[in-house]
Chain A
Amino acid sequence: MALDSKIPKGPLADKWTNHKNTIDLVNPANKRNIDVIVVGTGLAGGSAAATLAELGYNVKAFCFQDSPRRAHSIAAQGGINAAKNYQGDGDSTYRLFYDTVKGGDYRSREANVYRLAEVSANIIDQCVAQGVPFAREYGGLLDNRSFGGVLVSRTFYAAGQTGQQLLLGAYSAMNRQIGRGKIKMYNRHEMLDVVIVDGKARGIIARNLVTGEIERHSAHAVVLGTGGYGNVFFLSTNAMGSNVTAAWKAHKRGAYFANPCYTQIHPTCIPVSGDHQSKLTLMSESLRNDGRIWVPKHKKDVEAIREGTLKPTQLAEEDRDYYLERRYPAFGNLVPRDVASRAAKERCDAGYGVNATGEAVYLDFASAFMRYGKEQAHVKGLDENDEALVKKLGQEIVKNKYGNLFQMYEKIVDQNPYETPMMIYPAVHYTMGGVWVDYNLQTTVPGLYCIGEANFSDHGANRLGASALMQGLADGYFVLPYTIGDYLADDIRTGKISTDTKEFDEAEKNVIDNISHLINNNGTHSVDHFHKRLGKIMWNKCGMARNAEDLKSAITEIAELRAEFWKNVKVPGTDQEYNEELAKALRVADFLELGELFAKDALLREESAGGHFREEYQTGEGEAMRRKEFQYVSAWEYKGEPKDAVLHKEDLVYENIEVKERSYK
């Protein structure tokens, strides 16, 4: 099948408006007869479910958590971008579009990104109308901060809990529709297959996680907003339950999976402390507005710090290497995430890591305390030369901005970041790759849509900070609810979809067979045992730097591990009860397939772009070397085993942006 991205004709700035004006609509009376399933209730799924219900469709929404409010969007910290230009600093729709395409290392679709930038301003209006309490200035207007990879302040925020506030906004919109009976909510349910009838997605098979019951649900269209697959690495900043299962089942039913190797390793996370570790914790990128990243200049100081004989605060300015400021004077500490992560790895690999494992760098707020403190002292008419006073005043300001992050750090590391610099190291955070979708956010399966992090569409090879929230809500509030109408307009006479068909029988049987295999396997190792081993392979061979040899061995090792998993995994309990081990086993089974495709995709991509860094393709200065011949999206078609997946290419055409070397110097 040839990939058709269905990008509307016409000038870039008019595409979305023209498209909305020409696509089919479903009249309000007919919407009442149409059912839509939405899987996942994060920013994308939650906002889509609410909006579809407002429009009049009958929505069934599913989440594996005990409430839709707990989807992992809730953990997003720093902010949401929007081209409002409230700061008057030269921002515009075009500039947000440009920054996003450049930030994604010229591996995203122009038309999609432009639409994203275009609707971004509306998101802020919508959220404020819903009562989302964004941070404000004393004049009562909205405040902004800066994020990496841009030269303007366009990020709206609510302290370090922006994701929480936006998700609670979407959740409240859902609640209104649940109260009206327009959304039927299924908590503690996991989607285990999508059902295709006559080539169209017509329902799902879900498991009730409390009773173990397998359920059939039908609809005229199915929307997946199920998030990313960072947990294929075992350790990531994702929630424990975040998984690829829904997206992967869709892939196995015909949806192409795009760019699986594009993974974002976030530069500022709390370093790994030991083998017991179950997840990694992010320290928001917004901290790089005020924190400066450094390691000691001299090895002897590194040694002394590791031994505990020297405190980082004792090290003189001239003995510190602020390596981001040194290497990238224009963007400094606010370079994009991929660049900052690789720079940290470079210093640590060279032996300058500042903790026992040698995998940590400092994020230091000392100069921010003084800068803010001086300003405060001046405003309050106090002594600007009293260092202790200035520091205290400055700490108050920083506490107001990032207090919850500092507290989180202290609880985990048991060190006070107001007194000693934070230690940070990169960790898996976000996946730019995902289910391939066209301009309408429809997958290669008619009637199956994919939104938010679960799709591949807007971030290319690297996502800029504060753009995930923007994309999730853009897809869910403003894009999908329009584009899905164009498809559903043909379904106004279809009537209810029966679940009593051979397609539902077959899908359900598949699910039940897999479950009974796992339950009756009586193997010798737990699910986590396999998950951790998979994570090690992924991190060591498909992590921040990749090469052909490692990737080839990863492919073999993952395939072997998968075979061993099915033979030897042990799942206690039964399938007729709450059984978390079983739920985990079903997720890890899919990660074991995705992981192999991930490595295969990374091996194919013989270039470095954004989060995908191939050691063979770098410039003399160690920067990523993009190659023109790889200016395409890799969309993989499922053919049985991951190794047999067939590649389809969607060429990326840049008509409005000149593809240049991506420089932040």
Chain B
Amino acid sequence: MNLTLKIWRQKNANDKGKMVDYQISDVSPDMSFLEMLDVLNESLVAKDDEPVAFDHDCREGICGMCSLYINGEAHGPDRGITTCQLHMRKFKDGDTIYIEPFRAKAFPVIKDLIVDRSSFDRIQHAGGFISVNTSGNTIDANAIPINKHDADDAFSAATCIGCGACVATCKNSSAMLFVGAKVSQFALLPQGQVEATDRVLNMVKQMDEEGFGNCTNTGACEVECPKGISLENIARMNQEYLKASLKG
């Protein structure tokens, strides 16, 4: 396949940035999207041009490092995957592909397609944990049976990879799906109850301070989420928040 790529280039956080056109030929449909960018970068290095910077690591859809807004969609046109799992067979010969970074006030661009998502980490620092020390003297793992449905729902919420697609997709740049997933994981488990009140209040407070927008129930985040994290998690967080506010 031969393709035209329109890629966001931005030297650093202070640079204004612009879209730049590249032609690429002989793309195999079996390549992953990132392998296609590898090939582009090899050719740029050969021509003494600077390669396009993009985040990536595991290349199997689990680390959450890769991002990219492709043709106006976070992680591109396919569903239920990250960009590294997107394959070129989803495109046609002659296509023009627009490649941009995840854009949000709370995700400033570092270079080209790389953004700073440390705001996600800071929300987790505020309460994304259960305060238990590593003593080896906790109770036996089977001492508290947990209803399978609750355990499965907690697991589904916990599969969030923290990539930020939800934020990039949301017209308000809201992080409610991300935060809702973490709050839900713990809210569904007996171990999470002790700190439930502080957790949700602190995490939401930090989320607001980072400059993420609010949720207006559009649901685009759920559609673009590579892990299929459900909107129910936002509802559950709102419920937890209300409960905590009334208590607090």
Contact = CB atoms under 8 A, between A and B. Distances in A.
A237 B50 CA distance: 28
A125 B138 contact: yes
Contacts of A75: 58, 60, 62-63
B131 interface: yes
A66 B116 contact: yes
B42 interface: yes
Given A131-B185, A278-B59, A572-B50, A411 B138 contact: no
B106 interface: no
Contact of A126 (B45, B114, B136): B136
Interface in B40-56: 42, 44-46, 48-51, 53, 55-56
B129 A176 contact: yes
Given A408-B60, A578-B110, A131 B162 contact: no
Interface in A518-577: 526, 528, 570, 572-573, 577
Interface in A61-105: 65-70, 72, 74-75, 84, 86
A278 B40 CA distance: 13
Contact of A136 (B49, B78, B151, B192): B151
Contacts of A171: 124
Interface in A141-163: 141-142, 158-159, 161, 163
Contact of A67 (B34, B58, B61, B117): B117
Interface string A405-448: 00110011010000000000000000000000000000000000
Interface string B215-245: 0000000000000000000000000000000
Given A67-B120, A75-B63, A135-B151, A84 B141 contact: yes
Contact of A278 (B35, B51, B148, B189): B35
Contact of A581 (B51, B64, B133, B161): B51
B5 interface: no
A411 B151 contact: no
Interface stretch (B79-87, B92-100, B167-175): B79-87
Contacts of A577: 11-12, 111
Contact of A70 (B32, B57, B116): B57
Interface stretch (A47-55, A190-198, A463-471, A629-637): A47-55
Nearest to A128: B141
A126 B135 CA distance: 8
A461 interface: no
B140 A74 contact: no
- Which size bracket describes the interface of B in this complex? 35 or more
Nearest to B160: A168
B71 interface: no
B23 interface: no
B141 A172 contact: no
A581 B38 CA distance: 11
B138 A126 contact: yes
Given A172-B124, A173-B129, A477-B134, A407 B80 contact: yes
Interface stretch (A251-259, A269-277, A452-460, A502-510): A269-277
Nearest to B64: A70
B76 to A, nearest CB: 12
A179 B125 contact: yes
Contacts of A573: 50
Interface in A86-134: 86, 119, 122, 124-131, 133-134
A10 interface: no
A276 B38 CA distance: 8
Nearest to B45: A526
B246 interface: no
Contact of A54 (B11, B12, B62, B134): B134
Contacts of B110: 210, 578
Contacts of B36: 276
A173 B134 contact: yes
Instruction: Among B11, B53, B141, find the residue whose CB has the most chain A CB atoms closer than 10 A.
Output: B141
Interface in A279-293: 279, 281-282
A572 B48 contact: yes
B211 interface: no
Contacts of B55: 66
Contacts of B28: 274, 276
A131 B189 contact: yes
B94 to A, nearest CB: 20
A140 interface: yes
A171 B160 CA distance: 13
A299 to B, nearest CB: 27
Nearest to B120: A67
B12 to A, nearest CB: 7
A159 B30 CA distance: 27
Given A281-B60, A572-B45, A578-B114, A126 B145 contact: no
Contact of B133 (A54, A124, A179): A54
Contacts of A570: 45
Contacts of A139: 145
B58 A133 contact: no
A273 B28 CA distance: 10
A84 B28 CA distance: 49
B59 A274 contact: no
A172 B42 contact: no
A125 B133 CA distance: 12
Contacts of B214: none
B91 interface: no
The 5 A-B pairs at the shortest CB distance, nearest first, are namely: A140-B145, A172-B129, A133-B155, A129-B138, A179-B125
Given A70-B65, A477-B134, 15 more contacts: A125-B138, A125-B140, A126-B138, A129-B130, A130-B191, A133-B154, A140-B145, A161-B159, A187-B121, A407-B80, A411-B78, A412-B85, A414-B30, A477-B136, A481-B134
11 contacts: A66-B117, A67-B120, A69-B162, A128-B141, A161-B62, A175-B124, A187-B118, A240-B57, A528-B42, A578-B114, A580-B51
Interface of B: 11-12, 28, 30-32, 34-36, 38-39, 42, 44-46, 48-51, 53, 55-65, 78, 80-81, 85, 87, 89, 110-111, 114, 116-118, 120-121, 124-126, 128-134, 136, 138-142, 145-148, 151-152, 154-155, 158-159, 161-162, 185-186, 189, 191-192
